[in-house]
């Protein structure tokens, strides 16, 4: 209990710690439709964001697939913005000149071109500023309206930045605007080396090392002031005012899989719910089956019954009846060991036990056991044909000798016999033992027996138990010298 409570406390502390570490450092400042309608067409005198549009590609040529979007951006903003296209060679030279440490330690070591393109736009925004837009993106509204709105909302702030919102993970970077020298981009550049790792998956590596996930973390951790402002363009405005053609030149198979999961999340979630229900049914079935098995063959094949020593206690009849009627008929072919209480002998012995080798009779009156040994076909057949280990727990009676000798004569395969209850030579009768072949056992190797005094069992060592190698005697009294020296010598030789 204490361990569980400790684990719960630790988990709660970790959750609170992570939640605190990932908390926003500043409240979100949005750009909404009302702001664009109010300030979009205002000629704002304090222009702090450079009127230049940046785009990047491998060369200075425009690929045919993106020609429509590039031409749309240029025509929509002609006269308001300067247009500049950066090739990979230009980007490399610019970063090497403006951020030599970052270039030398991180930029040239990126595994993917997309990482260099993403990180270049942060260096570009910090040193030049303006507007960056991907080549596969175009707009229905002039970019001037977004820039003037941004400047009008915070007229006294020298540093302004704009990111479109992304519902899935924070902000996007395919359209950004900023004043040069904005501290958030200085933070971006300084943190890029810390995120320069391979995150197991190609897509996640690009997103988290320099892409939108990286930007989302940095925007969340950035501390805004009235002088350094970051605003978020609401996603609803972004998806209605901008349009895209086929892009994703850096996409791999993992990206396609992630995008498929993202755009089909509701349907996949339904499939997962169905799978979870089936798994729950499956595991519940396993639990029920194991609980059923725990009360059936595996536990019962090692011994069925109740072993009671020292006093007479009977198991509940209902439990015995359940075992006999519902369980034993299904497992009797696999039972190797069986313990039979006196109260259940009638219902247990009427079943065939083909594999039974060890049998125990517990708390039997001598007359009842004697009757089963002589009259009951099942018990008689077991002792005669297959039992090798036998344990008898019998109530003290003068006729014990009859049962003891009867067992020796019946069981032709017996190797281990335990005969409980104390008896004396007076109860056994003539201690010289009957020498007839019917009362001998050529297979018995181990005998455990109770006697009142040691002399009561010495007659057993007259040689009739020719295979006996272990004799365990439970006695109350040993007299010296022994009344039977010859048999004592035989016993010593067995022990040795």
* pLDDT tens by residue, 299-335: 444 444 333 343 444 455 666 666 666 677 777 777 8
CA distances (Å), origin 481, targets 372, 454, 490: 41, 11, 15
Which of residues 471 and 376 earns the better pLDDT score? Answer: 471
Highest mean pLDDT out of 153-157, 301-305, 329-333, 433-437: 153-157
259-263, 393-397, 401-405: segment of lowest average pLDDT: 259-263
C-alpha closest to that of 345 among 360, 355, 326, 330:
360
Report DSSP state, residue 411: -
| Neighbouring residues of 239: CB distance < 8 A, sequence distance ≥ 6 | none
Q: What ranges do the domains of the chain cover?
A: 20-251, 301-495
pLDDT in tens, 88-142: 999 999 999 999 999 999 999 999 999 999 999 999 999 999 999 999 999 999 9
Distance from C-alpha of 429 to C-alpha of 89, rounded to nearest angstrom: 116
pLDDT in tens, 76-101: 999 999 999 999 999 999 999 999 99
Q: Which fold has domain 20-251?
A: Spore Coat Polysaccharide Biosynthesis Protein SpsA; Chain A (3.90.550)
Q: Is 318 exposed, middle or buried (0-12, 13-18, 19+ CB in 10 A)?
A: exposed
User: Residue 340: pLDDT band by 50, 70, 90 thresholds?
Assistant: confident
What crossing angle do the helices spanning 366-375 and 377-385 adopt, rounded to 10°?
80
Determine the pLDDT at residue 379. Answer: 78
Pick the CATH number of 301-495 from 3.90.870.10, 3.40.50.1000, 1.20.1290.10, 3.80.10.10: 3.80.10.10
Distance from C-alpha of 89 to C-alpha of 107, rounded to nearest angstrom: 13
Q: How far is CA 1 from the centre of its chain?
A: 21
Q: Tell whether the model's pLDDT for residue 432 goes beyond 50.
A: no
Decide if 20-251 and 301-495 have a common fold.
no
Mean pLDDT of 369-390: 78
Q: Are strands 175-178 and 130-133 parallel, antiparallel or unpaired?
A: antiparallel
């Amino acid at each position: 209990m204490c361990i569980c409570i400790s684990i719960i406390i630790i988990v709660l502390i970790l959750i609170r710690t992570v939640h605190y570490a990932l908390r926003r450092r500043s409240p979100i400042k949005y750009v909404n439709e009302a702001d664009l309608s109010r300030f979009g067409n205002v000629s704002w005198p304090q222009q702090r964001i450079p009127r230049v549009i940046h785009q990047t590609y491998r060369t200075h040529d425009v690929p045919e697939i993106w020609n429509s979007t590039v031409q749309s951006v240029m025509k929509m903003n002609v006269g308001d913005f300067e247009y500049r296209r950066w090739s990979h060679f230009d980007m490399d030279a610019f970063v090497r000149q403006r951020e030599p440490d970052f270039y030398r330690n991180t930029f040239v070591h990126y595994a993917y071109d997309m990482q260099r393109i993403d990180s270049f736009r942060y260096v570009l925004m910090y040193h030049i500023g303006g507007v960056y837009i991907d080549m596969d993106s175009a707009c229905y509204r002039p970019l001037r309206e977004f820039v003037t709105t941004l400047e009008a909302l915070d007229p006294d702030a020298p540093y302004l930045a704009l990111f479109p919102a992304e519902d899935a993970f924070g902000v996007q970077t395919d359209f950004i605007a900023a004043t040069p020298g904005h501290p958030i981009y200085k933070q971006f550049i300084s943190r890029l080396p810390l995120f320069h790792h391979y995150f197991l998956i190609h897509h996640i590596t690009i997103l988290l090392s320099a892409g939108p996930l990286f930007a989302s973390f940095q925007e969340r951790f950035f501390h805004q002031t009235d002088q350094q402002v970051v605003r978020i363009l609401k996603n609803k405005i972004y998806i209605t005012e901008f349009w895209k053609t086929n892009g994703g030149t850096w996409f791999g198979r993992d990206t396609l899989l992630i995008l498929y999961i993202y755009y089909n999340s509701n349907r996949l979630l339904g499939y997962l719910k169905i799978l979870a229900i089936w798994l729950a049914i499956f595991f519940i079935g396993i639990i029920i089956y194991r609980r059923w098995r725990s009360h059936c063959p595996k536990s019962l094949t090692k011994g069925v019954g109740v072993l009671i020593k020292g006093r007479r206690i009977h198991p509940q009849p209902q439990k015995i009846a359940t075992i006999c009627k519902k369980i034993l008929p299904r497992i009797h072919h696999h039972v190797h060991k069986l313990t039979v209480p006196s109260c259940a002998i009638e219902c247990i012995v009427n079943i065939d036990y083909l594999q039974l080798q060890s049998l125990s009779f517990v708390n039997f009156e001598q007359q009842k056991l004697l009757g089963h040994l002589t009259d009951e076909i099942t018990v008689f057949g077991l002792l005669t044909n297959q039992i090798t280990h036998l344990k008898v727990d019998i109530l003290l009676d003068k006729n014990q000798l009859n049962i003891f000798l009867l067992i020796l004569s019946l069981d032709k395969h017996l190797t281990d016999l335990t005969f409980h209850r104390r008896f004396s030579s007076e109860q056994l009768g003539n201690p010289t033992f009957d020498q007839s072949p019917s009362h001998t056992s050529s297979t018995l190797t181990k005998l455990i027996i109770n006697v009142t005094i040691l002399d009561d069992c010495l007659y057993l060592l007259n040689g009739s138990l020719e295979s006996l190698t272990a004799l365990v005697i439970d006695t109350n009294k040993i007299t010296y010298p022994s009344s039977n020296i010859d048999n004592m010598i035989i016993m010593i030789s067995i022990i040795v």
